[in-house]
Chain A
Amino acid sequence: MRKLIFGILAVFFVLGAAQVTVVDQAGREVLVPPHPARIASAFGVATPYLYCFVGGEKIVAARYLGLPDHPLSREVMSRIDPAYAEKALGGEVTAEELLAKGAELVFAGLKHRDLAKVLGEIGIPTILIGPETFAAVREATLIIGQALGEEERAQKLVAFYQEILDGVAAATREIPPEARPKVLVLGTSALRVASGEMYQSRMVELAGGISVTQGLPGSWQNVNIEQVLIWNPDVIIIVPYSPVEPADLLRDQIWAAVEAVKTGRVYKMPQLLFAWDTPIPESILGILWMAALFHPGRVPLDFEETIRAFYQEFYRCTLSAAELSELLGR
């Protein structure tokens, strides 16, 4: 009898130990099943993190931010997860949809608290992330790694990310303010700008620029051309998923008065798989790319080699020379 009780207790103990408690970025304690085989992402920013840890066979549904519109990314993605297109979620993601896809563990954004509540009712744990700083990107990587039982790998990826950040920071730290270009980051229209509170502004600062929108709160903001003329940025960066192209601004008679347009320093950020301006590990490549634009030759890192190493390390994906050339517009 005693043996039986011990046996039952032991079973409970093992089961209990296998369950992992994760504290997500909303501060919620989430009990995660051991080795989840079917995971989903209701949040475009969370999806890249998932692919860093698990293969496509474990992802049953996800949002793919900016990926469907980018041919090179589609090509590379189909090597990482040949079935990704069928998993793409559109519109507002609902609990039923995720349930129908058989998700056992869901990753979502801070704005998805209600979805998480409903999923909780039907017994599907949901982890919420919302990185807007470098530290929060590291934290999100560790949280997701822990939830997927890949803590060691998470540590390794965070170290890679941090090494690049530190490398750029060391190279740009001593640049005096007068040598830092004033930078404006444009979103999905020519008059939609990244606010000073956004990750994009932190990227600009680390790369040795000054974000002209510092002090502008919130998320993406709509402004008028007069405000752009007041800011008069030296460099304009257009996010990769924007329908706006540098040529649109360069041939516009009003924009001609903006310093960046006068000097031709209007650039579209590259993208591979996911957009380099978003708060995901790829952003270190966006930072390196901007640092090379703002201060050529200053950061002692081989850009091409870093890109290759990044995709190898984070996505276990080997880029061909042709793909790298296409990515860098050569």
Chain B
Amino acid sequence: MRRAGLVLALCLLPLPIVFGSLLLGRMDLGAREVWASLLGGAVPETVRALVLRVRLPRLLAAALVGANLAVSGAAFQGIFRNPLVESRILGVSAGAGLGAALAMVLRSGPLGIQGLSFIGGLLAAGLAMLLGTAFGGGILVLVLSGVLVNSFFSSLVSLVKYFADPYVQLPGITFWLMGGLSTVRWADFWPLAAASAIGLGGLLLLRWRLNLLTLSEAEAQALGLPVKRLRFLTVALGTLLTAASVSVSGVVGWIGLIVPHAARALVGPDHLFLIPAAAGLGAAVLLIFDDIARTLLPTEIPLDILTGLIGVPVFFLLFMRQIRKGGGWR
């Protein structure tokens, strides 16, 4: 029962952070102005636009991206029975990066970047699954296919960067690949929201069965589970979440690896609790990272730099704690 309470608290955690973050920004706005903007009170049009059209969509996008990456990471770690797997394991980020880089070279505008990177992410993961199936469909070969596809698409990204105009296109590609939410508006948010609703909803519904998928294949099959179909569905939903997120935020690392571990440390390995806990924690963590990214300096700090700089030491501490407790990773 205590665990259920903790999960509920983690799920609600992003709400106060969103409200708190609305007060933060390069522009100094008071709580009264922010409230008045939200409730339709009398504030200057600039302030209202800033709160409702700039900060709000960006914060909600940060929360969704964080939740999506953490949930898909947790689901992947479970079904691949591998603690080092994360949301990007099937090459989604590299595929999305290739789509975005191509869109920038082809000058197809912000929605083109989002669309092509989404398609690129799905294509890469689809290719990894196809290869995995061709190799027999086992868990290990699927991970291996993901690694292969990931490096192949990363090389394609490098190829596009190599031929991109070094002054006009290359800086944009490089900046996108480091992750950031500075350009997010409502138009970018809604497709993300739709994909998140499907992916998060689906994985929340599937979470009872995810526990069974972490059993060995023979055991699960003995229980009468359609193992292959369930695994495919989980991978598809996780891929949808990751591709939709990366297409909005650019490449943001570590969230999909560390947050699931942190959530597991808090609520244990049962997916019934782990999936919602990872969602809440992921949203909260990325909201805080994005607050730092958009307020600390006059310039935007790429998210991937922050998640790496802070994420790696945190990962190390978690790892040490686990080792001391004498437990391995589940």
| A interface residue numbers (CB < 8 A to B) | 44, 63, 65-66, 69, 90-92, 187-189, 191-192, 216, 220-227, 229-230, 241-243, 253-254, 256-257
Contact = CB atoms under 8 A, between A and B. Distances in A.
Contact of A254 (B53, B107, B299): B53
Nearest to A218: B299
B27 interface: yes
A63 B168 CA distance: 13
B107 A243 contact: yes
Contact of B162 (A91, A189, A225, A253): A91
A189 B180 CA distance: 14
B50 to A, nearest CB: 7
A23 to B, nearest CB: 27
A229 B300 contact: no
Contacts of A257: 45-46, 49-50
B228 interface: no
Contacts, number: 78
A192 B53 CA distance: 20
Nearest to A221: B299
Given A66-B167, A90-B163, A224 B46 contact: no
B308 interface: no
Interface stretch (B2-10, B169-177, B269-277): B169-177
Contacts of B180: 222
Nearest to B159: A91
Contacts of B107: 243
B299 A226 contact: no
Nearest to A232: B46
Interface in B96-136: 107
A175 to B, nearest CB: 26
Nearest to A44: B167
20 contacts: A66-B167, A189-B172, A191-B183, A191-B300, A221-B299, A222-B299, A223-B299, A224-B294, A226-B25, A226-B26, A227-B26, A229-B46, A230-B27, A241-B167, A241-B168, A243-B107, A253-B53, A254-B50, A254-B185, A257-B50
A229 B299 contact: no
Interface of A is mostly: loop
Contact of A188 (B163, B169, B185, B300): B169
| 7 residue pairs, one from A and one from B, having the closest CB atoms | A257-B46, A226-B26, A224-B182, A221-B299, A91-B162, A226-B27, A222-B300
Nearest to A213: B298
Given A222-B180, A254-B50, A188 B171 contact: yes
Given A227-B26, A227-B299, 7 more contacts: A188-B167, A216-B298, A223-B298, A224-B182, A229-B46, A243-B168, A254-B50
Nearest to B45: A257
Nearest to A215: B298
Contacts of A227: 26, 298-299
Nearest to A223: B299
Contact of B49 (A216, A220, A254): A254
A225 B25 CA distance: 10
B54 interface: yes
B168 A188 contact: yes
Interface in B43-93: 45-46, 49-50, 53-54
Interface string B16-53: 00000000011100000000000000000110011001
Nearest to B299: A221
Q: Which of A66, A189, A222 has the most CB of B within 10 A?
A: A222
Contacts of B163: 90-91
Given A191-B183, A192-B171, A257-B45, A226 B162 contact: no
Nearest to A252: B185
A230 B162 CA distance: 36
B175 A222 contact: yes
Given A226-B25, A229-B46, A254 B171 contact: no
A223 B50 CA distance: 15
Given A191-B183, A230-B26, A254-B50, A220 B171 contact: yes
B168 to A, nearest CB: 5
Contacts of A225: 50, 54, 182
Given A191-B182, A227-B26, A69 B162 contact: no
Contacts of A223: 182, 298-300
Interface string B176-191: 0000101101000000
Residue of A44, A216, A220, A223 ringed by the most chain B CB atoms within 10 A:
A223
Interface string B200-226: 000000000000000000000000000
A253 B49 contact: yes
Given A91-B162, A254-B50, A224 B300 contact: yes
Point out which of A227, A253, A257 has the most chain B C-beta atoms below 10 A from its C-beta: A227
